[in-house]
Structure 1
């Protein structure tokens, strides 16, 4: 069972470490892996805009570097009034390590705002099983 409180804490802490000097839009993400470990990441901008990294991608990289390969749940924390859901590219990155029923929680500085499954965010997705013969 995912530990939502621990993931929220990790994502909030990561958000405060984001490097976003251009947009000023700080994002943090946390993953609970299949083993129960939690991995966090923050967005990192670059003056050459397409070279930046999303918080979700950063958290996935931390998970992979620790030898984990399955996302059991994820939390994404952003600021502003709207929901900070994963971008399209990150939805596909999440899909590489998660199934359609995987919960993706979206939060703001005040706490949880909404929850979705990956299938709701990325319907009819293309995944690793599509490449098997």
Structure 2
């Protein structure tokens, strides 16, 4: 199967606060990321959501006091609950370039640390 992603995904777990935008009944909660990339993230999420729904996010990078705010849309969902973790794929629709770079710097540093640790 051919890989369709444009950007590398990094396996990083961050706490994510989310809220479904424009919904008459508020859907909000706290979840965590399974992986992150330049363009989006995979969230462990078992709410009743569908592709196309817009979400607002607040996430915090460990050791960084300033939260990151972003918006994104669900592009896929995995109801199969592989490994007991139902998940959704999110594509960022609004995130500042500065915050995107903060995420990328963090996930890259985590990846380097993990990679070096595995080689030791």
TM-score by length of 1: 0.27
Q: Calculate the TM-score normalised by the size of structure 2.
A: 0.29
The higher-RCO structure (CA 8 Å, 6+ apart) is 2
Q: Which structure: greater helix fraction?
A: 1
